[in-house]
C-alpha cells in the first residue's frame, strides 16, 4: 500500500522564506513518519491572494531554485508534490506544481485551467497534466480547477495513472448544511467513474479575507472519502491506498469503466 500524507501547512502570502521553512519541515516530518507521497497545496511557496502580478513575480521561482533541493533532501524515500509560483524561462508567471524526489525535480506541470483572477496573473499551461513514474506507481498531477473538468481526470485514467494528486486552494463556497464541499463531490465522482484514487491538499484558514475550505482529502478508487480535513487547519490528512486497484477497471463480469465508453457518440466533447 501507499501512504499518502497531506500535512498541515500555514502558508504566508508573499513570504518565500517563511514558506520554504514551512514546506521543508512539513515534508521532513511526513516523510520521517513513513509517508510515501507527501502532498502540499497549490502555490505553497507563495500564497494565493496576490495584490497583482508584481507581487506574484516578487516570489516566483524557477525550477533551478534551491527550495526544490530542500524538498528533495527532506523527502528521503518519499515523493513530494507541491504547488509553486513559477517564473518561466520565458519570463512569464505560471501556477505550477512540481513532483520532487531524492533524485530532484521529476516534472513540473503548469495549470491549464485558470480560476478567477489567476487569469490576470498567470499564463495557462499548454501541456496536459503529466503522469510520473514513482516508487509507488504512476502518479497523475493536476491543479485545483483542473479537477472540475471530467475530461482531465478521464484523460489521466485513459493514459494509465494509478493515482491522481491535486494541490488546490479551494475558496470556501456556500453549501447546504451537512454537505461536503462541492469540489469534493466532483472528486468522488471522478474517482469512481475512473476507478482511481484521488488525493487533494487544500489550504486552511484565511488569507487577506479569503477563507479557505480546508478540504484536504484522500478518496479511494470506489469514490469514497477515506480521510478528510473537514476544515481543521491542524489536521494531517493521511491514508493508505492500494494503488494496484486502479489497474482493475472491471465492474463485475460484464463491464469496464473505460472499455464501455462509446467515443464515437460524444466526439463533440473534445471539439473546440
Q: Which of 189, 207, 240, 245 binds a copy of itself (CB under 8 A)?
A: 189
Tell me, residue by residue from 191 to 230, as one string, x for binding to a copy of itself by CB under 8 A and - for no binding.
-xx----------------------------xxx------
CB atoms near residue 226 (< 10 Å): 17
Q: Residue 44: which residues within 8 A CB-CB, separation 6 or more?
A: 9, 11, 19, 23, 82, 83, 84, 167
Nearer to a copy of itself, 92 or 159 (CB): 159
Nearer to a copy of itself, 97 or 100 (CB): 97
Nearer to a copy of itself, 75 or 191 (CB): 191
Determine how β-strand 137-141 pairs with β-strand 163-167: parallel
Nearer to a copy of itself, 66 or 252 (CB): 252
Name the segment binding a copy of itself (CB under 8 A); options: 52-60, 197-205, 229-237, 259-267.
259-267
Determine how β-strand 79-87 pairs with β-strand 93-101: antiparallel
Distance between CA 3 and CA 20 in Å, rounded?
23
Name the segment binding a copy of itself (CB under 8 A); options: 55-63, 71-79, 130-138, 253-261.
253-261
Site for a copy of itself in 63-122 (CB under 8 A): 112-113, 115-117, 119
Q: Which of 133, 179, 232, 250 binds a copy of itself (CB under 8 A)?
A: 179
Site for a copy of itself in 129-158 (CB under 8 A): 145, 148-152, 154-155, 158
Nearer to a copy of itself, 176 or 209 (CB): 176
CB 88 within 8 A of CB 62: yes
Q: How many helices (H) and strands (E) does the chain have?
A: 5, 16
Distance between CA 169 and CA 211 in Å, rounded?
10
CB of 265 to a copy of itself, least distance (A): 4
Catalytic residue IDs: 42, 111, 144
Question: Residue written as cell 504547488?
Answer: 83
Name the segment binding a copy of itself (CB under 8 A); options: 50-58, 95-103, 182-190, 228-236.
182-190
CB of 132 to a copy of itself, least distance (A): 17
Distance between CA 14 and CA 52 in Å, rounded?
11
CB 223 within 8 A of CB 192: yes
CB atoms near residue 8 (< 10 Å): 18
Name the segment binding a copy of itself (CB under 8 A); options: 7-15, 20-28, 100-108, 258-266.
258-266
**How would DSSP label each residue in 50-104?**
-SSHHHHHHT-B-TTSHHHHHHHHHHTTSEEEEEEEEE-TTS-EEEEEEEEETTE
CB of 59 to a copy of itself, least distance (A): 22
223's torsion region: left (phi>0), alpha (psi -120 to 50) or beta?
Answer: left
The residues binding a copy of itself (CB under 8 A) are 112-113, 115-117, 119, 124, 127-128, 145, 148-152, 154-155, 158-159, 175-176, 179, 182, 185-186, 188-190, 192-193, 222-224, 252-255, 257, 260-272
Amino acid at each position: 500500500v501507499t501512504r499518502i500524507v497531506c500535512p498541515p501547512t500555514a502558508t504566508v502570502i508573499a513570504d518565500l522564506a517563511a514558506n520554504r521553512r514551512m514546506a521543508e519541515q512539513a515534508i521532513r516530518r511526513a516523510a520521517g513518519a513513513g509517508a510515501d507521497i507527501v502532498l502540499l497545496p497549490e502555490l505553497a511557496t507563495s500564497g494565493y491572494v496576490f495584490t497583482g502580478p508584481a507581487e506574484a513575480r516578487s516570489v516566483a521561482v524557477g525550477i533551478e531554485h534551491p527550495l526544490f533541493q530542500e524538498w528533495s533532501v527532506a523527502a528521503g524515500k518519499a515523493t513530494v508534490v507541491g504547488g509553486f509560483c513559477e517564473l518561466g524561462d520565458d519570463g512569464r508567471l505560471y501556477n505550477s506544481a512540481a513532483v520532487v524526489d531524492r533524485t530532484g525535480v521529476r516534472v513540473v506541470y503548469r495549470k491549464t485551467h485558470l480560476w478567477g483572477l489567476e487569469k490576470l496573473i498567470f499564463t495557462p499551461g499548454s501541456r496536459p497534466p503529466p503522469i510520473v513514474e514513482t516508487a509507488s506507481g504512476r502518479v497523475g498531477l493536476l491543479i485545483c480547477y483542473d479537477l472540475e473538468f471530467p475530461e482531465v481526470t478521464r484523460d489521466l485514467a485513459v493514459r494509465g495513472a494509478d493515482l491522481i494528486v491535486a494541490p488546490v486552494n479551494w475558496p470556501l463556497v456556500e453549501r447546504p448544511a451537512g454537505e461536503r464541499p462541492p469540489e469534493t463531490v466532483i472528486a468522488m465522482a471522478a474517482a469512481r467513474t475512473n476507478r482511481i484514487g484521488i488525493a487533494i491538499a487544500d489550504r486552511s484558514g484565511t488569507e487577506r479575507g479569503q477563507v479557505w475550505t480546508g478540504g484536504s482529502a484522500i478518496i479511494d478508487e470506489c469514490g469514497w472519502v477515506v480521510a478528510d480535513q473537514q476544515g481543521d487547519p491542524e489536521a494531517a490528512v493521511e491514508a493508505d491506498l492500494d494503488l494496484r486497484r486502479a489497474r482493475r477497471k472491471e465492474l463485475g463480469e460484464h463491464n469496464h469503466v473505460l472499455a464501455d465508453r462509446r467515443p464515437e457518440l460524444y466526439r463533440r466533447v473534445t471539439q473546440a
